[in-house]
Each structure stands twice: as structure tokens, then as C-alpha cells.
Structure 1
Amino acid sequence: MINLFSTLLSLSAMLFELSSASRCSPSVIQTTKLVGASILQIQAQEIHNYSATSLGPGRNDVGRYNISFCNVTVTHTHPDWNDTIHTEIWLPLKGWNGRFQGLGGGGYSTGFGSIYLTYAVAQGFASASTDGGLGTGFGTSTIPTDLSWALSSEGNVNWGLLDNYATKATNDMAIIGQQITKSYYKQRPKYSYFAGCSGGGRQALMMAQKYPDVFDGILAVAPAINLQRFIPAGYWASQVMHDTGTYPAPCEISAFTEAATRACDRLDGVEDGIISSPGLCEIKASDFVGKNYSCHGVIQAAWSGSKLVSKQYGWHGLNKDAQISGYYVSTSCSNNGTCHATESDLFGSYFKYLVAKDPTFATNSMTEKQFFDALHTSISDYTSMIGNNDPDLSNFKGSGGKMITWHGLADEVIPPNGTIEYYENLLKGDPNAHSFSRFFEAPGVGHCFGGLGPVPNGAMSQLVDWVENGHAPAVLHATKGSNNTARDLCPYPLRQGYIGGDPRNATSFTCIG
């Protein structure tokens, strides 16, 4: 009897493998009609023992994974838009956890392809990523800064591609991915999730705002809220450099960051190289003048942002332990010590392609008035499409959705105060918003990951537990920081406070008001 049972199990496994191979075929996989679009092609093939380095959005535990999956690529277009969009759906051959996960991109892209897909499939998710028809981002581990796709010709914005970037391609990906998952496994995914950081965090919030019933759970990390504001406003420190003719060396810039961190480090009760309470750090760059620093005006511009100059059009600056050298204050020096500004492609591309609509536009020739006029233009032209700053999430709440947002306080690209402002507006409209949406600050963490602070690598697992079991996260467990540091991230507006013991242990801190 035992031998017969074993034989039947073996036959069943063989039949499953044969069935799996036959199911991973364009002739078998079906999609229903995608409203407002036309399916051009469906490709499918099994991939065995694919090995790649990967991680999930907002994680710092990079690893190498070996996976086997059905790789489906759906190509579609929106009639009269002249776009061609590719969506990849990776379906685990074994161990599917019954869930679907959509994955976001970053910078001026809508997806990173295998960078995120590999990890998601290794965790058992049927997963999808889209290039949005933009031709940028897939397979890269750096922030895509090419925005040339945004112009159809000089002076003319390609509104179709910009809409794809804003939200349409992401929603298309979700619909296609869920349909392909159902077609392949012959059952709908029990739950659907979305995860993204930076531009992917922007996509996450857009889905909650505009398509509130598509995902059961959304993880939005360091979201690029108010893209039309913070991207051009990020050029403010460079504008001050050009106006004053002061071009600090990278080492000089770093000296200010180090000095500010030392001055405000102990505000949480412990000296660990992390500013846990940046709102209490009231020092100014001018406080360090007289210590061989000569560029305090430029540094202060990066810290305070342009909002102090123009509340109407300006935006927040970075916190004082963020690495401002690179994006916000970018310089290079020759051997003789002469320094000059180098342009940040992230900010410069936006001015060229979306504000001036001229690829040859010179950002370093703007006057201060022209700079703020450019901010006004950006806000006027693009808020409705790419702003993702609508704090009314009542429909997402009504659909039963849950969202976790977290942002590194040492983010060197996106000012975390923008996320704080958004969440405060959410609470003003719905004082009980914490019942479905929770925001956590991550002290010492840079953009998406990096920095000295520990990263909440288990945020997606906690989101799943909230969605499926009703266990709302009282804290986010951050377990992989510098020197094996662990911390529990506090739900806003609470913040970390040291209560004694080894500062590397989460139990040495508590959440205080």
C-alpha cells in the first residue's frame, strides 16, 4: 500500500510538472480586455534555476536568489498615444503563496524589472513590473534620471507617456498581472499587494488615491510626494551657489553634515551618529562659521529648503544628517583647489524637459526670480497629473485597504518633511486614519536604504499580517542597521527615545510623544 501511495504521489508530481509546462504558453494564457488599451503580444516561457542578486523595495538585505518561474511578457498600447508598454509577470513554478504583488520603479521610471522581481518570486509572490513604455529603469540598480522621453518634440510634452509614468501604466500592470495570475493558476490571487520606494512610493500613493480598490495592501517607502514641487525645488542650493559664486568642496560639505550630526546626536538620549529627532535640531550652518567653513549660505539652503523664501512655491530641505553632497549640492574640484558646480541629472533633467521643454536649457543661468517662476510653472502644469498629494483616502479605506508608509529621516534625495506634511493632512481629514494607514519615521536611514539607521526589512510581512489577520503594526521592526543595530520604528507622531542599555538593541528605546 505504501509503495502504491508513493507511486501515485510521483505520478501526481509528474503530471503537475507537465501541466505547468503546458500552462506557461501564449496559447494557453488568456487576458480579458484592457479598457482603453490594445494587447499587442503575449510571450511566455518557463525559466529554470534563474540566479540573480535582488532585494525588495525599501530593503537593505541584498541577497542572491535562485528561482524557477513562468515568465510572461505582455505588450500593449493605448490607441493614438503611440506608446508600447511591456509588463513582465513572473509566476513561481512551485511554492506560490496565493498572493500577487505589483512592484514600482524609481526616478523617472515605472519599474526595475528583475531587480525587484527576483526577490518577490523567491518569497512566493506572483509578481509584476512595467516599463511604462518609457524605455528606462528595467534592470538598473541606480536612479534613472533620463527624462528625454517626456518630450515628443522641443516645446511639446508627450502627455501620453507622462500619464503612463504618473499612474496609468501602473494600473494597467495591476490589471494585467492579476488576470495573468488567474489564468496561469486557475484561481484568483487571494490578496494583492503593491510595494515601491521613491518613485515607486509615488506610484503606491497614486494607486491608493486614484485606484483605491486594486490592492489590498500598499507599502509606500520614501514616496516622491509632490514631485512637481520637490524635484525643481531641490535645485535651490545650486541656485544659491550660482547667485553667490560660492562652490564648496565635497569634503567641506561633508564637514557641515558631520558637525551638525555631532551637535544634535544626543537629542534622543544616546550618542550613536543618528539624529532621531531632527525637528528639535535647531542649529544653523552659520553656527559653524569661524571653523574654516566658508559656504554656510549654500549649506543652509540645502537644509532649510526654498520654502523659507517662498511659502507658496518653495519646498522643504533635507535633514541635517543627510548626505547633501551629490544631489542637492554637487561640486567638483581641480587639483589646484578650484571648485565648480556639477549638475544633478535628477533635478536638471526636470528643468530641461518638463519646465523649459528644451533639452539645451542651462539651469546655471537662471536668476532667482526665474527659478521661482519655474517652480510656479511646474506646480501649475503638473500637480493634477503627478502630484499624488490628495490626502482623501476615504475610498481606499472603504475598500478595506491597508497602507504602511515609512521614510528615512536622513534621506538625501526626497525631503522626509514632505511625507510628514502629507500624513498630517491625512489626519486632519480623518483623525482615525491610523486605522488603515500608518506612517513611520526611520532615523538615520538614507534614501530607500543606506545610512547608519536600521531598515525595516520586514515591513511587507507586517503589512500582510495587518491585511490578512487584522494585526495593525504598533511599531515597524527595523533589524539591520550599522553595527548590527536594531530599533523599533515609531508610528507618527511618536518618536524614538533612549531608556538605557545597549543602544544596538531595540529594547533600549521606546516610543515617546
Structure 2
Amino acid sequence: MNKRYTITGAVALSALIAGCGGSSGSDSPEPTPTPPAPAPQLSCAEITTEALDLEGLVITKASQNGAEESSPAHCLVEGNLHARKSEVDNQQYAIGFEVRLPEDWNGRFFFQGGGGTDGAINPAMGSLPGEGNTTTALALGYAVASTDGGHKSVDDGTPAGGSLFGLDPQARVDYGYNAVGEVTQVAQNLIERHYDSAAHHSYFVGCSNGGRQGMVAASRFAHLYDGIIAGNPGFNLPQAGIQHAWDNQQFAKVAPIDADSGLPIIQDAFTMQDMGLVANAALQQCDALDGLADGLISNLAACDATFDPDQHLPRCEGAKDASCLSAEQIDALKGVFGGPKNSQGEQLYASWPWDAGVGEMGWRLWKLAMPFPNPTPTIPNSIIATMGGSSLPYVFMTPPSPVSGAGHGLIDYLLSYNFDSDAPGIYRTNNVYTESAMSFMTPPNPSDLSAFRDRGSKMIVYHGNSDPVFSVHDTINWYENLGAADAKAADYARLFTIPGQNHCSGGPSTSQFDMLTALVDWVEEGKAPDQIIAQASAGSSLGDNVQSRPLCPHPQYAQYDGKGDPKVASSFACVAPNTAG
């Protein structure tokens, strides 16, 4: 922002002016300049465009909301920034946002991360990480902000509508990082003007694309946040977009062919039962590597070193039946889990772990099919074939590759994607799109969080081991590179991997946890999280075997002590992989 009025800033400036007064040479000293009056505190009704006077800001609504069952009494402020008409696609754009300011404020600010391709302003209630939460940041007294990422999704009747903003270069940048920085500054200004006091601590919390935003914020906007929670972060999202094309091409190799159209029915490449065989094979080889066979593969590093799909997946000796996988299916899975490569064998994205959660619906709906009847089975309805199929050509490729979202347009694009000639497009720029996708979507230098560290800020990253969208291996690689660049990285950033968890939730996992309290205690009390206790969700397929487990900071994992109640966290200790017995 070029103009930002703050009460504390005005007072500091007036004090500086007063301290610089000198003598005119006469017997009488010059009078001390009268400091400017501080900006008045604004009630909810007084929050207007004119009162805030910030460049590019328009307030469209400021209303007092009474207490309800799901939220406390608060002031709801809605607005937008930098409204414009694109010279590239002739569409209207603005950075939309809302901020909720509770009457009973706890003195803290909470930025609520987005999801997917954004495109809508989700109510700024302050969703908390983990399953089963019965409260929100707003209910806890935080002032909360959210944004649409700088664009509105277009309802064109196809899955591509949410990605059409990628035709506009500034909308790409706003989505990638700029909207978060701009809205955070407006929200912090609003807080100071409304409460007559700045927030004493500011937090960012998000999962998926929100987790990516958090990691980008730690790099680009370190001065704005004291603490960040980044869940299942797709911080290399353009590379993950290439994985979506790769997955569909691997699945198509073993999918049955529709007799009428000659097209592959990708959702039938693997049944739920097939993927259950994969999950069971991983459990058979890896479950006990943490000292207890309980349905959780906690020692991920040992499993990565142990599991061999050629040896351990059940291979059919004759005709395919429900107890085995065909040789072609095993080869396809090896391709998927190995990650995308070009014809030279160069890795284009990370590999993926073999974990128990791959047999769950939370894995399948992203990779293969939604859990409801598909009226046109030759058009995949999985999320990577719909959302991924449109974001890759429109948002991540330079220049954008307009693709029809209707009919077979998206899947045709993914199945024809060339990993030699097309994949470099995520790094390209031209005279219109001057920032590549890998520039505007990712942290500028993922291994350098020195500004964040030097400010005293803290970051918790968590990632499910069975995430079908973003590979936990990619996040582990980031964290290990961070540690290689800074031996004291664990003093300000910690990674917690979650056995069995799918994308941000679900799977045979302990997905109920309170990471916000852990972060606040670290930031404000200096209590670093040596473990975070997590409970199994009510609907978890773990059944009665698991009630709770400690989530451990990487590279540690939860190892059974050999004598305590195997259901509860107190019988487990966080240990380094080389201490396993």
C-alpha cells in the first residue's frame, strides 16, 4: 500500500518532528510544532471508504452483527481493492475481502487462508486446522480476514470457470501472493482504527492452497505475521499440476475402453477394492516399523526404504481377480507414485509414499472419481481432472492454453500433455506474462526464511502422508533443505507429518488436533511444540485400535513403548528414525 494511516505511526511522526526543532537565533525559541491529531477511532458504522482513505480501497459494507450460536457479536466489513478492467481479457477484477471484528476482541489478528483457485470470499470465521473443531478463531476473539484471491469464479457451466482468471497477468499475481499481502495490510489498518490499538500478534492459518499461501507469506510478507500454520501446502502447485496430467495418463494406460467412443474410462482403472489391496500391502510391510501394528504407518522413512511395489503388491499370476493387481496396474501405480518425469528421466515433481490412506475415498475422489454416479464415465469427475485440468492450462502455463471446459476438453488436454515440450511452460515468461507460474505461486527462496526468523516469528507445517493432491515427500524435501541451509531451522519452523491422512483431513488417521494453541504458545510463551497430541476422528477407519497419538516434529516419529495402552498417545514417544529397534 502506498498510503497507510495508523495512530501509532502518526504519534511517532509527531514526536520525531518535535525532537528535531532548533533555534532561529533569537532569544525566544521557536514554538514546538503542534503534532497532528491522531486519526479518530472508528465505530462499525463509521468505517467507510472516506474514513479509511487508503489507496485503491472501497468499503462496500460495514454492519454490526449480533451474537449467534456460531459466532459472537462482531462488526462485518466487506470491500475490495484496486478494481480495474483487464486490458488482456476485458474482464473486471478486484481483490475482494471481508474482515470480522469481534466486540470481545482478544487483541490478535487471524488471516484465514483460501483454497483451490479461490474466486469467492469465504466467510471470515477463522476455520481452525484439524477435524472436529467446534469453534472458530472469531469465536475465540480473533479479528479475522479472508479474500477471494483477486478474482471471481466465472459460472460458465463447466469446471473451467474457476480458472479463467488465468488469462489476466495481474490476476495471476494477485492469486499467487499479492491479494494476501494487500488484504492483510488493510485488515491490520482496520483493526487499529476500530479498536484504537494494533493487534499484539498476527497469525496466518490455512490448508491446501491456504497452506501454500502461508509458506509464501513467510517468505514474501515476513513483517506481517508472528505465526503461520501451513497445512498440506501445495507450495510447488504448478509442478503438482503437471502431476495431474501425469496421473491421468498413467491411469488411462490401464483403464477399460468405452466400446462406443473408444475413450478410456479412467475411473475404472482402479476400483476401491484394488486400492484397498495397495493400502493393505503397505500396512503389511510397514505398519509394525514403529513398534506396533495398529493401522498407522508412523515410521515413514523406514517404509520408504522398505516397500517395493514389485515385491509387495499382490500380482496376479493368471486372470485379474479381486485378490490381486495386474502387471499393467502395478506398472501404472509405480508411475503415479514415482512422480512425473520427462523423456530424459528428469523428475518434474516429487515422488509419493505408499501409505494406508490410499485405500480411502478421500484419496479416490481426488485421483480417480467422485463417490456418486458419473453420467458420462468417459469424462472423469475426479478433482485433479476437473480443477487440475483447467488450472494447469489457464493459470500455470505461459502463455495460457485456453481449453474448453465442456465435454472431453479438459481430459483431452491432460491426456495429450507433453512432459518434454509443455512442462517447461510453468517456468516461462513473455512480454505480457512477465512472472512465471513458478515465480508467482511459490516462495521466492523456499530455503531462506531469514527475515521471518529474524523477526522472531514461528511456523508450523503439517502434511498428511496419504495426501493425493500434494506429496508429503515434497514438503519433507523442503524442510530438509531448510535445515541444510540453516542448522537452527527447528527454532522457528517445524514440520509434522500425519500418518494415513488424506488432503487436510480424512483417512485412517489421527486428524483431530489443536495446532493454533500450539502455535500461540510457541509465539507468545516460547514453548516450542515437541509433540502435538492428535485424536482419531469419529468416522476414522482405524476403529477402536487408536484413540490418540503424538504427532512428532520431522524427522521424528511416534514409536510404541512396548508396554503401555496401545490405544493412547501416552504409550508412544517421539524418536529419531535411527533409534528404531
2:394 counterpart of 1:353: yes
Question: CA deviation digits over 1:460-496, x for unaligned, max 9?
Answer: 1111111111111111222344446222211111112
Q: Tell me what 1:386 maps to.
A: 441
Which residue is equivalent to 1:183?
193
Counterpart of 2:333 in 1: which secondary structure?
Answer: helix
Alpha-carbon distance between aligned partners in 2 of 1:29 and 1:80, rounded to the nearest angstrom: 20
Amino acid corresponding to residue 338 of structure 2 in structure 1: S
* Residue from 101, 108, 112 that aligns with 1:99: 108
Give the drift of 1:231.
Answer: 2.2
Partner of 1:127: 144
Q: Which has the larger radius of gyration?
A: 2
Give SS of 1:119's match.
coil
Which residue pairs with 2:325 in the alignment?
A: 293
Partner of 1:57: none
Give, in angstroms, the shift of residue 261 of structure 1: 2.6
1:404-463, CA deviations, whole angstroms, 9 ceiling, x for partnerless residues? 111111223211111101111111111111111111112222221222222362211111
Q: Aligned pair 1:316/2:379, yes or no? A: no
Deviation per CA, 1:381-416: give whole Å up to 9, x if none: 411111226211001111221111111112232111
Partner Cα separation in structure 1 for residue 549 and residue 334 of structure 2: 30
Quote the Cα distance in structure 2 between the aligned partners of 1:27 and 1:195: 26
Deviation at 1:78, TM superposition (A): 5.2
Aligned to 1:15: none
Name which of structure 1's ranges 272-281 and 359-368 shifts more when overlaid on structure 2. 359-368
| Structure 2 Cα separation of the partners of residues 419 and 489 of structure 1 | 16
Q: Which residue of 1 aligns with 2:58?
A: 40
Structure 2 unpaired stretches of 5+: 1-40, 87-91, 128-134, 257-268, 317-322, 429-435, 577-581
* Deviations 1:141-174 (CA, angstroms, capped at 9, x unpaired): xxxx95535446xxx7211111111111111121
Higher share in strand: 1
| Counterpart AA for 2:558 | Q
CA contact (8 A) 2:501 2:510 kept: yes
Quick one: structure 1 residues 46 and 255, their matched pair in 2 at CA, closer, same or farther if it must change by over 3 Å?
A: same
In structure 2, relative to structure 1, the CA distance for the partners of 1:29 and 1:458 (3 Å cut) is farther
Alignment partner of 1:69 is 2:74: yes
Q: Contact conserved, 1:106 with 1:197, CA < 8 A, in 2?
A: yes
CA offset at residue 75 of structure 1?
A: 2.0
Post-superposition Cα deviations, 1:238-265, rounded to whole Å, max 9, x if no partner, equal: 2122245552333323332233233322
**Contact 2:296 2:500 survives alignment (8 Å):** yes
> 1: CA distance between counterparts of 2:152 and 2:282?
41
- In the other structure, the counterpart of 2:488 is 432
Equivalent residues in 2 for 1:8-27 (5 A)?
23-27=43-47
Distance 1:308 1:453 in 2: 34
TM-score normalised by structure 1 residue count: 0.82
**Paired residue type of 2:553:** P
* Correspondence 1:250 to 2:272: yes
Which ranges of structure 1 fall in alignment gaps of 5 or more residues? 1-20, 52-64, 138-144
1:466 aligns with 2:522: yes
Contact 1:38–1:78 (CA under 8 A) maintained in structure 2 = yes
* 8 Å Cα contact 1:102/1:173 also seen in 2: no
Distance across 1 between alignment mates of 2:462 and 2:62: 36
2:67 maps to which of 25, 29, 49: 49
Question: Residue 265 of structure 1 aligns to a residue in which SS?
Answer: helix
> 1:100-499 residue pairs with structure 2 within 5 A?
100-109=109-118, 112-114=122-124, 116=126, 119-136=136-153, 148=161, 150-151=163-164, 157-245=167-255, 247-281=269-303, 282-286=306-310, 287-290=313-316, 291-294=323-326, 295-307=329-341, 310-323=345-358, 324-330=363-369, 342-343=381-382, 344-354=385-395, 355=397, 357-360=401-404, 361-364=409-412, 370-380=418-428, 381-388=436-443, 390-455=446-511, 457-481=513-537, 482=540, 483=544, 485-499=547-561
2:466 aligned partner, one-letter code: A
Is this contact kept in 2: 1:332–1:339, CA < 8 A?
Answer: no
On the 8 A contact 2:350/2:473 being kept in 1, the answer is no
- Aligned amino acid, residue 447 of structure 1: H
| Counterpart amino acid of residue 45 in structure 2 | S
Q: CA deviation at 1:100?
A: 0.7
- Higher mean alpha-carbon deviation, 503-512 vs 211-220, is at 503-512
| Deviation sequence 1:153-208 (CA, Å, 0-9, x none) | xxx72111111111111111211111111111111111111101110011101111
Structure 1 residues 443 and 71, CA, compared in 2 at 3 Å: closer, same or farther?
same
Looking at structure 2, the residues matched to 382 and 469 of structure 1 have their Cα atoms a distance apart, in angstroms, of: 38
1:132 aligned partner, one-letter code? G
Deviation at 1:121, TM superposition (A): 0.8
Shift of 1:271: 1.5
Per the TM alignment, residue 292 of structure 1 is displaced from its structure 2 partner at its CA by: 3.1
Aligned to 2:223, the other structure's residue is in SS state coil
1:267, 1:255 → 2: CA distance? 19
Q: What is the deviation of 1:69?
A: 1.0
Aligned residues: 465
Moved more, 213-222 or 236-245: 236-245
Q: Relative to structure 1, is the Cα distance of residues 366 and 439 closer, same or farther in structure 2, using a 3 angstrom cutoff?
A: closer
Instruction: Work out the percentage of aligned pairs sharing the same amino acid.
Output: 28
Counterpart of 1:419, as a letter, is: T
Distance 1:27 1:469, change over 3 A: closer
Contact in 2 for aligned 1:149/1:158 (Cα 8 Å)? no
Q: Which residue of 1 aligns with 2:565?
A: 502
Q: Residue by residue, what CA displacement relative to the aligned partner does 1:255-297 show, whole Å, maximum 9, x if unpaired?
A: 3223323332212111221111233223344431024322222
Corresponding residue for residue 142 of structure 1: none
RMSD of Structure 2 on Structure 1 (CA): 3.1
Which residue identity lines up with residue 313 of structure 1 in the other structure?
A: L
- Rounded to whole Å, the distance in 1 between the matches of 2:373 and 2:144 is 47
Please give the alpha-carbon distance, in whole angstroms, between the structure 1 residues aligned to 2:350 and 2:96: 35
From the superposition, tell whether residues 136 and 358 of structure 1 become closer, same or farther in structure 2 (CA, over 3 Å).
closer
Between the aligned partners of 1:339 and 1:272, the Cα distance in structure 2 is 38
Cα offset, 1:97, TM superposition: 0.8
Distance 2:535 2:255 in 1: 44
> How much does 1:76 deviate?
1.8
